[in-house]
Amino acid sequence: MPRRYDPERRRRIIDAAIRVVGKKGIAGLSHRSVAAEADVPLGSTTYHFKTLDELMVAALRQANEGFARTLTESGLLENTEGDLAAGLARLLGKWLDGDRAGVELEYELYLAALRRPALRPVAAEWAEQTAEWLARRTDPATARALLALLDGICLQVLLTGAPYDEEYAREALARVIP
């Protein structure tokens, strides 16, 4: 039987891995669970991703695109006249009010880097890239502090289930910006 050409299979496998982590957490991720979710043969997952770490790296890269897209599409980084703290607080609210499961998944994969060294470079790339983007509006040290604060606020909202408080976020962010 001739091999079927499926140029989107790799992407479908990554999408399936993200769905599996969203449903079952990192502990539920296996080549078998991803193959079942993607409706592909088990061999396809191991062909494209030899190890689970390789699959998790690809999933984290794709998940990181969510906030990056929200940030770049906002125009906030190009608008040098606007209130950066208010803009970031509004943007964070938009991101948290969007696909909440996607935000949780992104942080779950991001925090998995604590135990999986293969994920650390991807997590570091994301942090570095986001800090570089924020540095367009402020200095590099402030940009890194803003990123840490944004992450902290997100984690508090996700972990406590408390509603996002945009005014609190704006005030906290404004205290960091010189």
Residue ranges and CATH numbers for the domains of the chain are 1-50 (1.10.10.60), 61-176 (1.10.357.10)
* pLDDT of the residue at 73: 84
Q: Which residues, given as ranges, of the chain have pLDDT below 50? A: 1-2
* pLDDT of the residue at 2: 43
- Here the tokens at position 155 are 């984690």
* pLDDT of the residue at 5: 66
- What residues contact 136, with CB distance under 8 A and at least 6 apart? 77, 78
* pLDDT of the residue at 174: 97
